[in-house]
Amino acid sequence: MGKIEEPLPFLRVMLRHEMHHLWPKRSYGKIQDYRFLYHDLSDPVFVRWNPIHRTTFKHRLSSRQTPLPSIDVFVCTADRKMEPPMMVINTVLSVLAYDYPPEKLNVYLSDDDGGLSELMFYALLEASAFAKYWLPFCKKFKVNQTSPDAYFSTIQQSNELSNDMKHTHVIKKLYHEMQDRIETANRLGRVSNETRDQLQKGFDEWKFNTTSSDHQAIIQILIDGSFGSTSLDVEGQPIPTLVYVAREKRSEYNHNFKAGALNALIRVSATISNSPIILTVDCDVYSNNSESVRDAVCCFMDEDNGNDIAYVQFPQSSRNLTKYDLYASCFRLEMGGMDANGGPCYIGGGCFLRRNALELSTMRPLNQNGVPKTRETKEKACVGIMYGFPVEDMVTGLAIQCRGWKSVYLNTEQKGFVGVAPTTLLDVLVQHTRWSEGQFSTLLSKFCPFLYGIKRIPFRLQMSYTLYFLWAPNCLPVLAYVTIPQLCLLKEIPLFPKISSLWILPFLYVIISQYMYSLGEFVSCGGTVKGWWNEWLFKRTTSYFVAFLETLLRQFGFSELRFMVTPKVVDKDVLQRYKKEVMEFGSHSRMFVALGSIAMLNLFGLFSSFISFAEKRVFDELALQTGLCVVVAMIKLPVYDGLFVRTDEGKIPTSVSCTLIVLPMLACMLVLYY
C-alpha cells in the first residue's frame, strides 16, 4: 500500500517521546502493505503526537490478477432549499466520472425531500443526459477535478483552457444550458408538463398526494450501467449506473434522519448492484481527485491486511476558506494520530466502507499484533448505520472497530473530497453544536469507548475518541475562566499570585507553553493564527455549552433528538463580507447572547480594574486577572465591532444587543450588592 513519512521532527524533539511507527515491508511487483508495531500500554501515546501518512501505488493494481471490486456510491440530500439541486448534481457528476471501470461503478442519490422533490428528480435526469458528454470529456483530457462547477471555475480563475479549446467551449455551453433549465424549474417551483412528457414517465410518482414526510417509496434507474447494457456515452463507451431513491416515509414513524436514508440505500443497492464497497458522500462535497477510488481499493486489496480493513476514511476539506480561515474550518491532525492508535473514526462523508463490515454478526478475529481478541457478542444481527445519535457515523465506526475490524486514514497529496465551509458564524456554531452534542451523548451511552470498547479496541484508541467526545464538557472550564475572574475584579478579589511573587512563574510557564504549543500545532497542520485565535473562545462558550445542556436535558427526557441541516445557499452580501474576513452575525440567536454577554462582562471587568488601579493602586494583586480580561476582550473585538460600530446587515441585531448588555449589568450588580 505504500510508505510512511516520519512524524514532524519538531514534535519528536519537543515531546521527547520515541514515536512508534507503521513500517512498510519490502515487496516486489505487488501492492505494498503495512506492519503494525504495537507498543505496550505503559508507553505514553497521545492522539496528536504520532500522526502517520500513507501513500498508495495505484499503478500496481493493473498487475493484479484479482478483478477490481465494484463500488456503490451513496449521495444524500435532505432539503432542496438548503441544498440546491445544482450543487447536488455537481457532486453526482464528480463521482460518476471516477477513473474506474464504469460497469463497476454505481451511483445512488437519496432524496429525503421525497414528496416535494420532483425538482431534484428532474435535475438528476438532466445530469444523466449531460453525463454522456461530461464523462468522455474528463477521460479524454484527463480531468482530475471532475465536478463541472469546480473545473470551470478553476480554468476561469487561472485564465487557462483545457488542451482542446473547442471541446472545452462545447462542454461548458452544454453545462450552462443544463444549469439554466434546472435553476429555472427550481425558481418556478415546478416542472412543466411538456418537460415531463419529453423526459420520462417517472414523474407519475408525484401525481399522488405526497408530502416530504408522508409518501411512497420512489426508485428510478436513470442509467443502467450493468454489463451488457445499452446505456452508452456519446462515444459509445459504457457509463456507470445512476439511481434515484426517495425512501418511503410515514408521518407516524420515525425516519431516523440521515442514518435512515443511508440504510435505505444499503437495502436498495443490495438488490440492484450489491457492490462489496460503499462510498458515502455528502451532497455538498464533490470528488476532487478522480483516482481516489483507486487509492481506497489499494487499501482493501492489500494481500496481508486488506481483508481486515472495514473502511478507508479521507479527510474533509473546504474550497471556500478565506485567507486567514475566519471561522477555523480547517481540520486538524487528530485523524492521522488515531490511525496510529488503532484506526480513525468514521466521519460520514468521504469514506469507503466494506459492505459486510456493517453486519453486526460479522466479526474479524484478532490474535496478532498484541491486540486482545474480540469477544463474541450476543447482539442481534442487522445491517446498516446505527440509529439514535446525532453523529450516527462516529458511533457506527466505533461499533465496527469493536467487532475487530481495522480502519485507515488516507490523506492523499491531492485532496480526495472538497466541500463548502459555512460562511456565517451562526452556521458554524449550529454545525458544531450538532457534532459536539452527538459526541457527548455517545460518551454517556452504552457506546462509551471505555465501556463498549473494553477488550475490544486498544486503550489508546479509547482515549483518542475522548478527544471528540469531550468537546461539550470542555465548555465548563472555559466558561469559568471568562466569567469568574471578571466578576471577582468587581470586588477586587485576587485569584492569582501577585505579579511580584515567584509563584507567578509556574502560572506564566503553563500559560505560555500550552498556548504556544497549541498555536504551533494548529499552524503546522494547515491552520492560521486567526483561525486558532477565534476557535479558542467562540465555539467553546456557545456551541459546546448549548450541546452540553441539550445532551443533559435529553438524558433526563426533557428534550428530543434533532437533526439540523446546515444551509448551503449564501446571500451575495454575506459572501462578500465573508471574503473580506468580516464576521457575520445578523441573526437572532441565543448563542449570540452568550457571546455578547461574555464580551460585555469582560469589558466591565476591565473598567473596574482600571478604576481600582487608579484609586487603590492594587496592580500587583490584580495584574494577571486583568491580563486575562484583556485577552478575552481582544478575542471579542469582532463582537464589539458588530455591537457598536457596524451598520451593515451582518451586525448584531438590536434586540440581541439590548439583551446582551442588560444581562451582564444585572450580574455585575448582584456581585457588587452581595
- Map out the domains of the chain as residue ranges: 70-275, 471-673
Task: Count each helix (H run) and each strand (E run) in the chain, helices first.
Answer: 23, 13
Computed on alpha carbons and rounded to an integer, the radius of gyration of the chain in Å comes to 27
Question: What cell was used for 549?
Answer: 445542556
Quote the pLDDT of residue 365. 45
Sign of CA pseudo-dihedral 660, 665, 666, 671: positive
pLDDT in tens, 601-615: 999 999 888 888 887
Burial readout 301-333 (b: 16 or more C-beta within 10 A, e: otherwise): bbeebbebbbbbbbbbbbbebbeebbbbbbbbb
Place of cell 447494457: 229
What is the C-alpha separation between 178 and 624, in angstroms, rounded?
A: 62
Q: Do 601 and 640 touch, CB atoms closer than 8 A?
A: no
Angstrom CA distances, 372 to 66, 454, 456, 585, stand at 32, 10, 7, 50
Task: Report the catalytic residues.
Answer: 112, 393
Place of cell 442519490: 109
Phi-psi region at 60: left, alpha or beta (left = phi > 0; alpha = psi -120 to 50): alpha
Quote the pLDDT of residue 82. 84
Question: What cell was used for 489?
Answer: 475584579
Q: What is the mean pLDDT of each run of 10 residues along the chain (674 residues)?
A: 35 28 30 31 54 83 82 92 91 96 95 78 93 94 92 70 70 94 89 76 72 81 78 90 91 85 93 95 93 93 86 90 83 78 90 88 47 39 75 92 93 90 90 91 92 92 90 92 91 88 88 85 79 84 92 83 69 88 88 91 90 80 89 92 91 87 88 81
Angstrom CA distances, 88 to 135, 143, 288, 526, stand at 17, 20, 15, 28
Quote the pLDDT of residue 388. 81
Sign of CA pseudo-dihedral 474, 479, 480, 482: positive
Angstrom CA distances, 343 to 571, 646, 649, stand at 40, 47, 45
| CA-closest candidate to residue 419, choices 520, 285, 290, 607 | 285
pLDDT in tens, 14-35: 222 333 332 233 332 333 333 2
pLDDT in tens, 651-671: 998 888 888 888 888 988 888
Contact residues for 482 (Cβ-Cβ < 8 A; gap 6+): 537, 541, 598, 601, 602, 632
Strands in 105-111's sheet, in edge-to-edge order, are: 218-223, 241-246, 105-111, 71-77, 277-282, 351-354, 309-313, 406-409
DSSP 593-636: HHHHHHHHHHHHHHHHHHHHHHHH--HHHHHHHHHHHHHHHHHT
Quote the pLDDT of residue 374. 39
| CA-closest candidate to residue 352, choices 410, 404, 395 | 410
Rounded to two decimals, what is the model's pTM?
0.85
Amino acid at 80: R
Quote the pLDDT of residue 319. 86
Quote the pLDDT of residue 400. 94
- Work out whether strand 309-313 and strand 351-354 pair parallel, antiparallel, or are unpaired: antiparallel
